[in-house]
Amino acid sequence: MVQYLAALRQAQGNRASGLSTQAEAVLNAGRELWQVYFSETDVYNVREELKLNRPDVGWYQIRNALKARNNSGDFIPVDFSAFETAYKTLSEKLQPQVFELGFLRA
């Protein structure tokens, strides 16, 4: 994905990301959560359960690690609302295109 976005940006002449405003909002909200994730170290049990010591940690693990932090009460609570709102807006934009572009048939 990183390579795809870099190529997209290069094709746009580095003026824009090449993404829709809705997709850009999801990406930016995700970046904020990513920064919050790396601002603290999770407890051993969470790191082991979610395999956080691996170099290929993905959104599933990060999201669940942040939720575990919220549930523990030992960290400043993480607010997912900006990401969820941006994701819902993007989903609403893309839903009609699923059938138009033939990913699913009615």
**25 compared with 7, residue with greater pLDDT:** 25
Please report the pLDDT score of residue 4 as a whole number.
83
Would you say how long the chain is, in residues?
106
Query: What mean pLDDT is reported for the chain?
Result: 90
Cα–Cα–Cα angle for 87, 79, 67, rounded to 5 degrees? 95
Please report the pLDDT score of residue 18 as a whole number.
74
Instruction: Give the whole-angstrom CA distance, residue 41 versus residue 44.
Output: 9
Q: Are 87 and 65 in contact (CB under 8 A)?
A: no
List strand residue ranges (DSSP E) for the chain, in order.
Answer: none
pTM of the model: 0.80
In tens, the pLDDT along 30-69 reads: 999 999 999 999 999 999 999 999 999 999 999 999 999 9
**Domain chopping of the chain, boundaries:** 30-100
